[in-house]
Amino acid sequence: MSEELHIWFYIADLAGVAVFAISGALAAGRKSLDWLGVFVIAVVTAIGGGTTRDILLDRTPVFWINDPTYLYVILASALLTILLFRYKKPPLRFLLIADAFGLALFALLGAGIAKSMDANWLIIIIMGTITGVAGGVIRDIITNEIPLILRRDFYATAAISGILVFLILLQAGLTETASIFIGMAVVVVLRFAAIFKGLRLPVFQLPEEPH
């Protein structure tokens, strides 16, 4: 990956962190938490996935300790969310669209990090998915919600699908950069299908006991 492309990925990563931080701040607002609670939820939502990945892969120091810029972006995003949306409802559809791009970026960059450590396919898929969704899981648990990945919404499945495409394309001889972009596109398309067309996974439901 060229130095210029690496810089663009870094900028995009910070933008993804900002989007996830806004998502966390809004979740805290829906629960009427105080400002400290808003900042805490924003932080765990934005960096929870990457932190979990780094700990599991024994990558030290954890990425945000090595580069505190991530924390500054999160705190600024949370504060901006408080100031902008304290008295008016946020554009939810816009945030879902931005979240789709954040999920795609986090999942594929997480997969790329795991691959660079010579992990096998299953570990790469798990680490990429954790990078994309673990922050949201932590957010939902803290705010007493059923985690999004356990509901019908096509979320973690979109991340897994994009990572699989990334790995298959790499195996086929495509460059890592091109494979990452195509994998991200798959995640975004599937999330858009969920957002705009209601794409859902089938539900497992036990039959009711006869009376």
Q: Helix (H, G, I), strand (E, B), or coil: what is residue 10? A: helix
Q: Helix (H, G, I), strand (E, B), or coil: what is residue 64? A: helix
> CA 98, CA 204: separation in Å to the nearest integer?
30
Q: What is the pLDDT of residue 62?
A: 93
Q: What is the pLDDT of residue 151?
A: 67
Q: What is the pLDDT of residue 149?
A: 73
> CA 23, CA 30: separation in Å to the nearest integer?
11
Q: What is the pLDDT of residue 198?
A: 81
Q: Which of 168, 165, 161 is nearest to 194 (CA)?
A: 161
Instruction: Indicate if the alpha-carbon torsion angle 195, 199, 205, 211 is positive or negative.
Output: positive
pTM across the whole model: 0.86
The predicted model gives 125-150 an average pLDDT of: 88
pLDDT digits (tens, 9 = 90+) for 14-68: 988 998 898 889 888 888 899 999 999 999 999 999 999 999 999 989 999 999 9
The 8-class DSSP code of residue 144 comes to: T
Residue 194 contacts residue 92 (beta carbons within 8 Å): no
Q: Of residues 86 and 193, which shows the higher confidence score?
A: 193
> CA 24, CA 106: separation in Å to the nearest integer?
16
pLDDT digits (tens, 9 = 90+) for 147-180: 777 766 788 899 999 999 999 999 999 988 899 9
pLDDT digits (tens, 9 = 90+) for 107-131: 999 999 999 898 999 999 999 999 9
Residue 108 contacts residue 166 (beta carbons within 8 Å): yes
The predicted model gives 69-94 an average pLDDT of: 87
Q: Which residues sit opposite 153 in a β-bridge?
A: 200
Residue 108 contacts residue 125 (beta carbons within 8 Å): no
